[in-house]
Amino acid sequence: MTPAAPLIDPFARPIRYLRVSVTDRCDFRCAYCMVEDMQFLPKRDLLTLEELDRLSSAFIALGVRKLRVTGGEPLVRKGILTYFRAMSRHLVSGALEELTLTTNGSQLARFAADLAACGVRRVNVSLDTLEPAKFAAITRRGDLAQVLDGVRAAQAAGIRVKINAVALKGFNEDELFHLIDWCGGEGHDLTFIEVMPMGEMAEATRLGQYWPLADLRARLAERFGLTDLPDSTGGPARYVRLQETGQRIGFITPLTHQFCESCNRVRVTCTGELFMCLGQEDRADLRAPLRASTDDAALVAAIRAAIARKPRGHDFDYSRARVAGQVSRMMSHTGG
């Protein structure tokens, strides 16, 4: 069989990275991600696990080599291991180079061994603070000890853990070096992320949360020598090495430094919407062609038509004491 022509966007960027949200539900209510009284989607609107398999497999046939499973919290989706086991066949065939996920860690203790058996070798765990009371406050219901148990279970299963910490002004500024020391001691990479203007939240709230990573990096440079690295894990992070400890620290800066020029990724929601850019509202409906026929021709045509509309980049902006480039959907809807 002749391989399908790969997905190339209008700016000659090959699409090799797919992020798939398997649910909008989460057992946390992180203050920068969703409102406390979230109204989740009716289950009938979500793609079935079989549909998620078929859709993901179509992207893999078109050249996607990295698949990241997201949510909400992906591990609260009932029967989610069925999907991971289905995707593992693409690792075995060599069509897929990496299968991974982003998680809040709450369910990792239950699932780590099974995920490792499915070929998951690396996970991102969202963790913004190491203080139990602050953790409970920012997540509105999370248990830090449960998350740390999950991190340890992942390590025991042979899964490498990267910690993702959202930089929040007035919340975890005082934990910068604590987080670095803890990650260094546990052997975790650490990436800091600027809070993004997504969801129907007050502009004053977003501005109050925003801690530019340029400021964070400057604080790091007061204590450590920083060496810029060319490393890439396929995502938007830029990395430095701390000369004194050898640790690798990542920065995801959608506001102070756009990383769009090398963007090779798209996102599919749990309802089958394809977002070609995290910071734009344009989307394509893949659920309709997916359900219209058991043949993938219409689905593949819809994917190609959507990639042809992928923009050069987004325009998030917190300068001039206002929020610009805001999108109305919650981060949990898009899947990170």
- Tens digits of residue pLDDT in 193-223: 998 664 454 444 555 678 999 999 999 999 9
Residue 2 lies inside a defined structural domain of this protein: no
Cα–Cα distances in Å, from 151 out to 74, 104, 211, 246, 268? 16, 10, 26, 21, 26
Q: Is 234 annotated as a binding residue?
A: no
Q: What is the pLDDT of residues 5-25, one digit of tens each?
A: 999 999 999 999 999 999 999
Q: Is 170 annotated as a binding residue?
A: no
More confident residue, 230 or 330: 230
Tell me how far apart the alpha carbons of residues 252 and 237 are, in angstroms, rounded to a whole number. 5
Cα–Cα distances in Å, from 309 out to 7, 12, 18? 12, 12, 16
Q: 184 by DSSP, 3-state: which?
A: helix
CATH of the domain at 173: 3.20.20.70
Q: Is 265 annotated as a binding residue?
A: yes
Q: Is 169 annotated as a binding residue?
A: no
Q: Which two tokens stand for residue 119?
A: 């070929």
Residue 25 lies inside a defined structural domain of this protein: yes
Residue 150 lies inside a defined structural domain of this protein: yes
Tell me how far apart the alpha carbons of residues 47 and 24 are, in angstroms, rounded to a whole number. 11
Residue 3 lies inside a defined structural domain of this protein: no
CA dihedral 319, 38, 83, 336 (to 10 degrees): 0
Average pLDDT over residues 89-106: 98
Q: Is 68 annotated as a binding residue?
A: yes
Question: Residue 302's domain spans which residues?
Answer: 17-334
Q: Return the number of other C-beta atoms located less than 10 Å from residue 254's C-beta.
A: 22
pLDDT, residue 229, reads: 94
Tell me how far apart the alpha carbons of residues 278 and 336 are, in angstroms, rounded to a whole number. 8
User: What number of helices (H) and strands (E) belong to the chain?
Assistant: 11, 12
Residue 4 lies inside a defined structural domain of this protein: no
Residue 42 lies inside a defined structural domain of this protein: yes
Q: Is 162 annotated as a binding residue?
A: yes
Q: Return the number of other C-beta atoms located less than 10 Å from residue 297's C-beta.
A: 9
DSSP 236-292: S-EEEEETTT--EEEEE-TTTS--GGG--EEEE-TTSEEES-TTS--EEE-HHHHHH
Domain count, the chain: 1
pTM for the model stands at: 0.88
Residue 203 lies inside a defined structural domain of this protein: yes
Residue 5 lies inside a defined structural domain of this protein: no
pLDDT, residue 210, reads: 86
